[in-house]
Structure 1
Amino acid sequence: MNIQYIYAVFVLIILCLLCSSTKYISVNPPEDFQIVDPGYLGYLNIQWQAPRNLSNLSDCTVRYKLQYRNTDSQRWEALITTNLHHSAGFDLNTGAVAKIQTLLKGHCPNVSEMQSKWIETTFWPSLEGTLESKIKNFRCIFYNWVYVECTWQPGTNLPPEANYELYYWYYGMERAMPCANYTQSNKINVGCIFQNQDLVTYTEIFFCVTGSPESTPLRSSYSLLKLQNIVLPPAPEQLLLARSLAKPDEIVFEWKPPEGEAPPQCLQYEVQFKAAADTWKSMPIQMETEFTFLEPKLNHTFCARVRGQVNMYCADDGFWSEWSHHECIKVPPKVAMPVADLLFIAIGVVAMLVCITVVLLWATCKRTLAKDKLSYPVESIYHLSAR
């Protein structure tokens, strides 16, 4: 019993010595954590400084885990980085929130990875102007990859001298630029038209509609769009319907992509058809410009139309075009053959089979008689020699 007690005390002493010889390291969260607005209409800078207590830890790998979102969203965007800053797009109609922690990894701590506590910061845009002065129903359409038209509805209770101005920015621009071509209603700006060279595809474009500096401050409205997701192509052209030469029971639809800047490989199509006075029925979405359909029964007039949209390989969303002009084809009715004709055909077939049978029997008998005549002389000679 004494030996076990002495052994336990010895092990405890060894553990205490090991613990006392280990240098305890704690990790602090980053410092000066903040969200900064550089004036890019929602493209914000998130920046921070490294913790001071990590300056002497040369054997450590220091990283930062960053998460951010809009205040009205439940979905966090996340990344792990060694940088001290990150930029991202936000919807400034609400606030922006971000949180961060320090990650320590390497030979300096006695664990595989050490984490600091989280710290959080929030950014709120300016709320100048009354909420009633904010525009409504902001919408942009990219017409056939040629020009963009953005429209909105004015707010209510505007002062007589008030008016709206639109600004836009995308990555690569030095500063936000104002609209150069407004559309108006009752001398109030209610839209802006951009030519293709003014904007770029496949990048985020930030828009802000606010009050002009000369007028009473109006509440700002922010939007974030990608041009390829707001394309409205023209309707497909030259829709043709024809009966298939190889299979008369099939009708072939053919059309051409619309002319213009819309890449043909970026379009998909919806085909609708109807027979006579029926309602339109849709077929599955397809990317080919040809469709084959089995002729409907008991209908003598068959109509079709088609429309287009940017497909999933070129965009995440888009507008359907107008329907093409519908085309119709008259299908000859399938007339049932009279019973008398069917009976006549059946009699003819039976008569033909009888004739073929008689001919075959006659040929067989003829070959049998021929064999009998050839074998008679040989048998006679055999009998005479035997005598």
Structure 2
Amino acid sequence: MELWVSWATLMCFTHWIALTAADRTVQVDPPTDIHVSDPGHLGHVYIHWTTPASLKNIPECSVRYQLQFYDTYRGDWTGIRTSRLSYSAQFDLMKPIRVRLRTLLRGKCTNGTEIQSEEVELIQEPDLKGTAGSRITGFNCVYYKWEYMDCTWESGPDQPPHSQLYLYYWHREMGESEECPQYLYSDGVRKGCRFPRQSLLEYSDFNVCVNGSSPANALRPAFFSLQVQMHVKPAVVMSLALTEVSNTTLHLEWTMPEGLVPEHCLEYEVETRGGDEAKWVWRYTNMTEETTFEVPSVDQSERICCRVRSRVHNLCADIGFWSDWSQPECMPDPVSDTNQPSQVTYVLDMKLIMALTIVLIVVFLLSLSLWIFRKMWMNRKDLKGVLWTLVSAKDAQINTPTSSPCVL
């Protein structure tokens, strides 16, 4: 037992001497020549550094680097370990770029332990142009039906008059940034950009820059980075059908909204209401991934109405926009149906009234035409009698002998 303890003590002491010697003989310096290059990808930049000269000729050890950078969009630090000498990351170019680096050394030269250098930091301030109030505000993007995306903005509070705004965008499948394919205008001023689906890329950083110029000076640019699948707004749900299954259950069914949103990416919210129409309140909310839903109906005399809206499920996107509500679909009230005409009956009654009106007008016009014709015929007979009388009187006058002017 004592021999084993002595042996273990000797091994620990030997290992400590080796580590101490390694610490004395191996100098671990931090990376050098740290800099950031911007290829014009609107915030997607490259961080570069160089291996310290003291570690270039140590074949028995591996050199790695611990990189940390401040994510200006998330507001926290992100760290990685890599053996490369560069790394690409996303930054808001209107804020400082902060990078921290240290060298990690491990191998025979350190007896298998990892030795770290001191940490060095790079802070690169943004190149601010234009006044702060000339920067646009209220930037917002909506990816309608997974078919096209509209990004809109408002003018900055100190934007000079007669300014012209420009939007540029970039994603990883583009060689360089491009200008907006279709601007949106309000009162002749550019207030947005419409992106067709072929110009977008889901599940990747989509970088946008809105800048501009004016006769007075340049405007301060605004940079944004987004994931387009997080901004989807589906179309309105259509074709709702509500049928009675039992005395206590109604069956609601609808069709998928129009658009290119994949079926498995949609979830639905169903709201139901009932009671006195003057006091209708949407009172039940239910979530489902199906296009059917069983609606409880406790009071058979109660009029039940349902409406549906949809959004992208969290399996396809973390966040998204709800669609607008569908038109309500209601189950008619049996009591009301016996006392009041339904909409269909009302329409049929109106059609019948119109048909009867047309028939009466036609009969009236025919009767009027017959009366006029009869009147004209009677007038023709009276005229013929008068003419015959005149002709007879003329003949009588001609046949009567006249007396001679000379009387013998």
TM-score by length of 1: 0.77
Find the residue that maps to 1:47 and give its secondary structure. Answer: strand
Task: Measure the CA separation in 2 of the matches of 1:167 and 1:19.
Answer: 55
CA distance in structure 1 between the partners assigned to 2:125 and 2:72 by the alignment? 9
Per the TM alignment, residue 151 of structure 1 is displaced from its structure 2 partner at its CA by: 0.5
CA deviation after TM superposition for structure 1 residue 214, in Å:
7.9
**1:183 aligns to what?**
184
1:51 match:
52
| Aligned partners of 1:275 and 1:296 also within 8 Å | no
Q: Distance in 2 between matches of 1:285 and 1:185?
A: 38
Residue of structure 1 in register with 2:308 after alignment: 306
CA shift, 1:96, in A, is: 1.9
Greater Cα shift, 141-150 or 17-26: 17-26
Distance 1:282 1:44, change over 3 A: farther
Quote the residue 1:270 is aligned against: 269
Q: C-alpha separation between the residues in 2 aligned to 1:20 and 1:128?
A: 54
CA distance in 2, matches of 1:285, 1:208: 37
SS at 1:284 equivalent: strand
Whichever residue aligns with residue 272 of structure 2, its letter is: F
Letter in 1 for 2:252: F
CA–CA separation in structure 1 for the residues paired with 2:138 and 2:188: 19
Are the equivalent residues in 2 in contact too, given 1:241–1:253 (CA < 8 A)?
yes
Distance in structure 2 (CA, Å) of the matches to 1:213 and 1:90: 27
Residue 325 of structure 2 is matched in structure 1 by 323
In the TM superposition, 1:37-186 aligns within 5 A as 37-70=38-71, 74-110=75-111, 112-186=113-187
Q: Which amino acid aligns with 1:297?
A: D
Which deviates more from structure 2 when the two are superposed, residues 303-312 or residues 270-279?
A: 270-279
> Of the two, which has the highest radius of gyration?
2
Match of 1:260 in 2: 259
User: Structure 2: 5+ residue runs without aligned partners?
Assistant: 1-13, 336-408
Instruction: Indicate how the Cα distance of structure 1 residues 313 and 73 shifts in structure 2: closer, same or farther if over 3 A, else same.
Output: closer
Aligned residue for 2:133, secondary structure, equals helix
Measured in 1, the distance between the counterparts of 2:289 and 2:140 equals: 27
- Give the 3 Å change call, closer, same or farther, for CA 26–271 of structure 1 in structure 2: same
**Equivalent residue letter for 1:258:** P
* In 1, Cα distance between equivalents of 2:221 and 2:306: 46
Structure 1: which 5+ runs fail to align? 1-13, 334-387
* Distance (whole Å) between structure 2 residues aligned to residue 145 and residue 298 of structure 1: 41
For 2:94, what is the secondary structure of its paired residue? coil
Deviates more, 1:63-72 or 1:209-218: 209-218
Matched position secondary structure for 1:76? strand
The aligned amino acid for 2:145 is N
CA contact (8 A) 1:97 1:122 kept: yes
What residue in structure 1 maps to residue 10 of structure 2? none
Following TM superposition, by how much is the alpha carbon of 1:109 offset from its aligned partner in structure 2, in angstroms? 1.2
How far apart, CA to CA, are the structure 2 residues paired with 1:201 and 1:56? 45
* Partner amino acid, structure 1, of 2:141: C
Letter in 2 for 1:25: V
Pairwise CA RMSD of aligned residues? 2.4
- How far apart in 1 are the matches of 2:283 and 2:31? 60
More helix by share: 2
Preserved contact between residue 168 and residue 177 of structure 1 (Cα < 8 Å): yes
* Equivalent position amino acid for 1:225 in 2: L
Query: In the alignment, is the contact (CA less than 8 A) between 1:141 and 1:231 conserved in 2?
Result: yes
Change (3 A) 1:209 1:215: farther
Contact 2:134–2:156 (CA under 8 A) maintained in structure 1: yes
